[in-house]
Amino acid sequence: MSIKKFFTKDFVIGLDIGASSVKIAQFKKSEEGLYLVKADLREIKPTTDPALRTKAIAEALKGLFAGIDLKKSKVIAHINCPKTAIKLTHAPYMPKSELYAGMKLEAKTDFPFPIDDSLLDYEIFGDVVEKGVRKYEVAVSVSPKETVSRYLAILGKAGIKPVSFVPSPYALKKIAEVAQSKDGKAVCVVEIGKLHTELIILKGNTLVFSRKIPVAGEDFTKSMTIVLDSDRGKTQLSFDEAEKIKSEVGLPAESEPKIIDGKISTTEILSMLRVPAEQLATEIERCFDYYREESGGGKIETLVVFGGGASLGGLIKFLSGELGVEVKLGDPLEGFKVGPNAVRERNKTSYRMAPAIGSALSFGKGINLLPLEMKEEAKRAVKRGTIEIVATVVVLVSALLFVGMKIELGNLQTRISVAALELSGLAPDLKKAEAHHAANMVLVDEPHWEDIFKELGHRVPKHIHLTGITMREDVINMKGVVSSSDGEDILSDFILTLDEGIFKDVKLVKTRDLADKSGNEFELACWVD
């Protein structure tokens, strides 16, 4: 078993703090994959007071996380705001240590807002050849530092320390990878929240397009609060009344008009809700047109809709008719093993859980919008955990050895007596052996350097460069550089690999970050068989 498995978290939790609710999806990691343990949400009462909203969210979080052992859980939070975005781009082929600075410079022209006060991260999807030039295909994401700080403050009040912040399109990408068409055709995924609507297009496992759409769930409610003048007189619904009727009636059919709550007819409801519904369809169609142009005629044949806004009655049928494609209400839990009591009223809530579930699916390496210092702190925590576990293992092994040695002590004493008698008969031969040994001691401290260099040639990975090898008092010292942002993981694997060969008791003497943060310098000490 790899030493890393000793401190792997048992659970991964996706978290979505939305405008009107807080959602979590807790998965247990196993060799068969992810198993859903809990998916739940808590509604948040609307308020314009930031302090009251923060308090309500903190209380909702404490309720959702009740009974969850955070020490055994990795929490990944979904983050969103108007300036949290992701963009697919092609970057010049360069050393990965220089890519971050290049992406930050590129982002200043790729995003329609200043990013100097934003956090940035990226993920390399692969290589492409553009006009004969090799380039990286990269997804770059940004989010304002103010947004990240606000999320951290809210989570801190609930005692939650996330290991990662993932942007909305990235979480939807993870969901879309599961929902995508098995024949390789492009799939469009739309998540209609209360304040934000996110759209992505995925082909295979590649994110090819991402955009925020300026029509969301609250726009449907607001459209129903305008003043109506009919033969019954003037009527105006309050926001709460409009929300209630929208939820209960949805987009009414044109036939069989009737009066709702004695205030408004279904015909009037339809005329008001058609405005944002048509705007939504138009914006989605524009995204389809862009994809067709960029892909040379590619078509979108399936649209999957998530989010609270997707529950508007009649919206799925309306969008299908307007866009001429298959439109379906998404179930982000499809394809997962689900515990018997993991979800309450799955058919009424699962489509709202997409950002939380997508965040949980982002538990591997990828885009992470946490501040750099928090990422480094997480790495240090892993390192501390490694040391503690190694110490525990040493104590346990020592205890077992002690018990075993005590049992064998009696047998050893008997064997020693017998060996002493045999040794007295070997005295003449021992004198000859001592003379031979004295002759060989001249070279005993000199290692077989040819074997050492052959061994290193097979075991040094591509990201590690050795800068010096010396030997003093039977100890071989190696100095080198890890040229990667994942230096600690690569160095740990390198040490384990060396221990499997002729090098024994390989130990890390010291390590420090390079000045440009592109990797680490290190020094190792070891012995040779």
SS3 486: coil
Q: Which two tokens stand for residue 90?
A: 């092609």
Mean pLDDT for the chain overall: 84
Question: Residue 425 has what pLDDT?
Answer: 58
Dihedral (CA of 494, 499, 500, 504) sign: positive
Distances (CA, A) of 31 to 8, 163, 332, 338, 524: 13, 22, 21, 16, 34
Mean pLDDT of 456-481: 85
Per-residue pLDDT, averaged over 488-504, amounts to 83
Q: Is the dihedral of CA 327, 328, 333, 335 positive or negative?
A: negative
Please say if the pLDDT value at position 388 is more than 60.
no
Q: How far, in Å, CA of 382 to CA of 488, rounded? A: 10
**Res 328 pLDDT > 60:** yes
Query: What pLDDT score does 75 carry?
Result: 96
Query: Do residues 273 and 224 touch, judged by C-beta distance below 8 A?
Result: yes
Reading phi first (left if > 0) and then psi (alpha if -120 to 50, else beta), residue 204 is in: left
Q: Where are the beta strands (DSSP E) in 100-144?
A: 118-130, 133-144
What's the rounded mean pLDDT across residues 306-324?
95
351 pLDDT band (50/70/90 cuts)?
very high
How far apart CA 4 and CA 8 sit, in angstroms, is 7
pLDDT for residue 240 is more than 70: yes
Q: Classify residue 501 as exposed, middle or buried by CB count within 10 Å of its CB (0-12, 13-18, 19+).
A: middle
pLDDT category of residue 261 using cuts at 50, 70 and 90: confident
Q: Give the chain's end-to-end CA distance (angstroms, integer).
A: 24
- Look at residue 7 in the predicted model and tell me its pLDDT: 45
> Is residue 84 very low, low, confident or very high in pLDDT (cuts 50, 70, 90)?
very high
Any residues with CB less than 8 A from the CB of 198 and at least 6 apart, and which?
Answer: 80, 168, 169, 172, 190, 191, 210, 211, 212, 213
pLDDT band (50, 70, 90) for residue 318: very high
Burial class (CB in 10 A: 0-12, 13-18, 19+), 476: middle
**Confidence band of 4 (pLDDT split at 50, 70, 90):** very low
Q: Which amino acid is at 182?
A: K
Span of 10-24, 216-230, 295-309, 444-458 with lowest mean pLDDT: 444-458
The three-state secondary structure class of 501 is coil
Scored b (16 or more CB within 10 A) or e, 299-327 reads: ebebbbbbbbbbbbbebbebbeebbebeb
Per-residue confidence (pLDDT) for residue 6, from 0 to 100: 44
| Local confidence band at 54 (pLDDT 50, 70, 90 cut-offs) | very high
3-state secondary structure at position 385: helix
Dihedral class, residue 260 (left if φ above 0, else alpha if ψ from -120 to 50, else beta): beta
Cα dihedral value 37, 364, 195, 352, nearest 10? -30
Give the closest residue to 280 by CA, choosing from 255, 247, 227, 316.
316
At 444 the pLDDT is 47
pLDDT at 426 over 70: no
Residue 80: pLDDT band (50, 70, 90) is very high
Tokens of 498: 């060396």
Which pLDDT belongs to residue 229? 80
Segment among 159-163, 230-234, 502-506 with least mean pLDDT: 230-234
CA 372 from chain center: how many Å? 15
Domains of the chain: 3-219+270-370 (3.30.420.40), 442-529 (3.30.1360.100)
The two three-digit tokens of residue 268, written as one number = 């009037």
Lowest mean pLDDT: which of 39-48, 125-134, 193-202, 432-441? 432-441
Tokens at 233, concatenated = 């007189």
Q: How confident is the model at residue 5 (pLDDT cuts 50, 70, 90)?
A: very low
The token pair at 113 is 């807002």
